Amino acid sequence: MADKPQKLWGGRFAKSTDKAVEEFTASVHFDSRLFEQDIRGSIAHAKMLGKCGIIPQADSEKIVKGLQELLSDYRQGLVTFDPSAEDVHMNVEKLLSAKIGEPAGRLHTARSRNDQVATDIRLWMKDEIDAITRLMTEFQQVLVDTASEHLDTLMPGYTHLQHAQPVLLAHHLLAYFWMIERDKGRFMDCKRRADVLPLGSGALAGTGFPIDREFVAQELGFARISENSLDAVSDRDFISEFLAAAAISMTHLSRFAEELVLWSSPEFGFVELDDSVTTGSSIMPQKKNPDAAELTRGKTGRVFGGLMTILTVQKGLPLSYNRDLQEDKEPLFDAADTLRGALSVFIPMIATAQFKPDRMRRSLHGDFSTATDLADYLVRTGMPFRKAHEVVGKLVAECIASSKGLEDLTLDDLKSIAPELTGDALMLLQPENSAASRSIPGGTARSAVEKQLQAAKSLLSVS
């Protein structure tokens, strides 16, 4: 029995597609996610075809009505996708044909799946960026609210995970506010470059039909149309940018997650995470595991992998469209889902976290984190900084040998290493005074952090 010709591609093929090839090339199992965007793009395209007289106005209206009904069906869960129709675009066309008959065959006039899918992804991405940045703003609000409650909570500031200098917990939390603010900026930059309509570029060379691309751009809310048809159908820079922004955002969340994992351990005891964002052990009754933080840290690698995937897919492609670009969607969708999921758990995780001011303050005792303050004091007396660094370093060594902290020293102890020291120097050895002395803009003094908080609140008020 002879193979049946491929119905999908018309008269060119005499044989049906091999089943293995059909399964290998199908994408509807993941690009069906673009259904709504494909409908929106198709409605705008159909309206334009009728407006420009490229297809009969009556057919244009039937197509638009049929597409609107399909969208309603989809939102009610009444649409079933056919894997043999390969992708979301052909599924829409098949479903539309079943609904309105012959006029559906006119919808694909003056467009290709190449410019169609590029349009769908850009529409989806613009919506996704809005959703992600809204979550980021909500997370920033939680950070601001939590920081406002801890303007007097002292804790060790770290470098190399070693106690370095005293800082306010509010200052530490706001460091993540500014990281997220940069993340939002990267996503909005990405959205600006994604806000370009490729529809009308055809397969690669444009179209000979007298279409109105500006009309379609206006219908779909695009800021401008693409300038070069070859570039428009093969450009996935905006996906690379999205994945890069997502990877950086996940890096920031992963860093915070690592701190929460450490801080919630008995060795630190800086925070207790709420029962609602932690899990227990299958064997150890006492355990309270920071799984949401750990999984955020672990899932970050998925987003890194997505970025590497899209860069690798593009690196050897000649102009213009190549089927390799079908591989752009799964890493994109996965990265977006992963980032939104991480933000969605971080918001309640920080909002319900119980930070431990007393434990944080006790951890500063005997940690020598005010040593720099003493060295700076010596500099103000006229001693070169390198000499002051050496003098205080020797003092720290002596304290360690005698099991003392800097805050345990007397004025006589200080004068023994630097006779020019006065009682003022003793005050500097208290962590509260150390933090309070750093009142420059961006510093950890309460006065500076209050100004920082106000700047953060001002940004949120216009978000």
Catalytic residues: 160, 281
For 298, phi then psi, to 5°, come to: -70, -40
- The residues with which 159 forms a beta bridge, in sequence order, are 162
268 three-class SS: coil
Instruction: Give the DSSP H/E element, type plus range, for residue 272.
Output: strand 271-272
Question: What is the DSSP code (8-state) at residue 2?
Answer: P
For 263, phi then psi, to 5°, come to: -65, -25
- Cα three-residue angle 21-23-27, rounded to 5 degrees: 115
Tallying the residues shown for the chain, one arrives at 463
Which residue in 47, 66, 44, 43 sits closest to 55, CA to CA?
47
- Cα three-residue angle 188-194-199, rounded to 5 degrees: 155
- Cα three-residue angle 372-378-382, rounded to 5 degrees: 140
Q: Is the peptide bond before 320 cis (omega within 30 degrees of 0)?
A: yes
Name residues whose C-beta falls within 8 Å of residue 209's C-beta, 6 or more positions apart in sequence.
52, 54, 109, 110
For 409, phi then psi, to 5°, come to: -75, 150
* CA 187 to each of CA 127, 221, 346, 440: distance values in angstroms, whole numbers, following the listed order: 12, 18, 19, 31
Helices within 264-384 (DSSP H only): 291-314, 329-351, 357-362, 371-380
Name residues whose C-beta falls within 8 Å of residue 121's C-beta, 6 or more positions apart in sequence.
34, 37, 239, 328, 329, 332
